[in-house]
Amino acid sequence: MSERGQSRSLKTVGIVAAVVAVGIVGAGIATRSQSEKKLAGWTSAQATPTVAVIHPKAAGSSTALTLPATLQALNTAPIYARTSGYVRKWYVDIGDSVRAGQTLAVLDAPEVDQQLAAAQADLQTAQANQQLAASTATRWRNMLSKDAVSKQETDEKIGDLAAKVAVTNAARANVSRFRFTQGFTRLIAPFSGVVTTRSTDIGALVTAGTAASTPLFTVSDVRRMRAYVRVPQSYSAQVHPGQHVALTLPEYAGRTFDAVLTRTAGAVDQRSGTVLVEVQADNQDRALKPGSYAQASFPVMGASGAMTLPASALMTGQRGTQVALVGQDGKAHLKSIQIGQDHGETVEINAGLKASDRVIDNPPDALADGDAVSVARGGADGAHAAR
């Protein structure tokens, strides 16, 4: 082959190699571009959360308003010492039943005994001075009738008698005061009930009249129990004296205690927006204990236009309680609501929702107003209905 033919062959091979190289580079660029597009699409899809949508349901017309309550004894009396001394003996302990007027403990107060003795001596002195003044005044009256003494001197003797009578009365009152104080060394029950606390022992020093004083005993009348409950204003018109209320306690599963609403404050507390009511329950078997936590269920009608949602749909933040709605633009929109009653798994919404609203269930924590969302197919409409 000639040199010219060899040169053409080399040029042809070079052109073919260049075309193949350009094709390989182009294919690589196209493949990479397609991968980047897929990655961008996947990233965009991952950035848009997929959410389940539910619809609010109308609240039932009749429901039970369940509110927390703390039980108290009908009457509770902390027993303090009215005089200082040492505990000589105590006769009752926690859990003991006592009757009105029964002695709970006795104190030794030697100082009071000595003060009483001194007051009695002062009374005897005052009585003796009164008797002398009385006899003197009588004699001067007799002498005045015979013009043996002046009227001025007689009046002075009569006035001295009146002063001595006043001193005697003051001494007698002082004796009575110390006798009452001495009587306070015996602590008694003010009414029949049960001893719920005892904070003293034999030989303990009891100091009366100080801010740090603690009750030696507490007596509670547990034959009837009462509880104060705060009812929301929206339901206050439906509660009234004489209404029966169901009490439930965690230690008595499945048991309900019947209580009666006895009185209502008749005013709304501006700080909490509630009305304070009192309920009472019979407690002859002493199943109810003072200080116990209970739940009081009031038979009421649901608020007009109220809707229910699962508690998982609520969002709580700086703007209060809100829910996330899916708009027609496919974006989330946060809306504030007003909760009427909390049933645990579900809540009753008094304002802020319609039955046609599409509410996001279990919204992501980072969800903000205006974020794009993707609605899951076969959403949670049925999930709410099943709750």
Least confident of 84-98, 122-136, 174-188: 174-188
Round to the nearest angstrom and report the end-to-end CA distance of the chain.
92
pLDDT > 70: percent of the chain = 81
Helix (H, G, I), strand (E, B) or coil at 376: coil
Query: In angstroms, rounded to a whole number, what is the distance separating the alpha carbons of residues 218 and 197?
Result: 5
**Residue 73 CB neighbours (<10 A):** 23
Per-residue pLDDT at 386:
35
Q: State the sign of the Cα–Cα–Cα–Cα dihedral 114, 119, 123, 126.
A: positive
Q: How far is CA 118 from the centre of its chain?
A: 52
Range among 13-22, 55-64, 150-159 with highest mean pLDDT value: 150-159
Give the mean pLDDT of the chain: 82
**Residue 367 CB neighbours (<10 A):** 16
**Residue 233 CB neighbours (<10 A):** 12
> Where residue 383 falls among pLDDT bands split at 50, 70, 90?
very low
Those residues whose C-beta lies under 8 Å from the C-beta of residue 272, and which sit 6 or more positions away, are: 230
What are the DSSP calls for 264-308, one per residue? Answer: EEEEEETTTTEEEEEEEEE-TT--S-TT-EEEEEEEEEPPTT-EE
pLDDT in tens, 208-217: 876 567 889 9
- Specify whether the CB–CB gap between 345 and 387 falls below 8 A: yes
Q: State the sign of the Cα–Cα–Cα–Cα dihedral 339, 340, 344, 347.
A: negative
Helix (H, G, I), strand (E, B) or coil at 8: helix
DSSP conformation class of 113: H
Tell the residue number behind the tokens 């003996």, with chain if given: 89
**H/E element, 72:** strand 62-79
pLDDT at residue 5 is higher than 50:
yes
Query: In angstroms, rounded to a whole number, what is the distance separating the alpha carbons of residues 174 and 85?
Result: 20
Tell the residue number behind the tokens 């304070």, with chain if given: 276
More confident residue, 29 or 69: 69
Least confident of 15-24, 273-282, 362-371: 15-24
Least confident of 211-220, 275-284, 299-308, 352-361: 299-308
More confident residue, 102 or 158: 102
Per-residue pLDDT at 163:
92
Query: In angstroms, rounded to a whole number, what is the distance separating the alpha carbons of residues 357 and 360?
Result: 10
- Specify whether the CB–CB gap between 193 and 169 falls below 8 A: no
Q: Locate 57 and state its tokens.
A: 């349901």
Per-residue pLDDT at 155:
83
Per-residue pLDDT at 384:
45
Per-residue pLDDT at 140:
82
Those residues whose C-beta lies under 8 Å from the C-beta of residue 100, and which sit 6 or more positions away, are: 189, 190, 191, 192
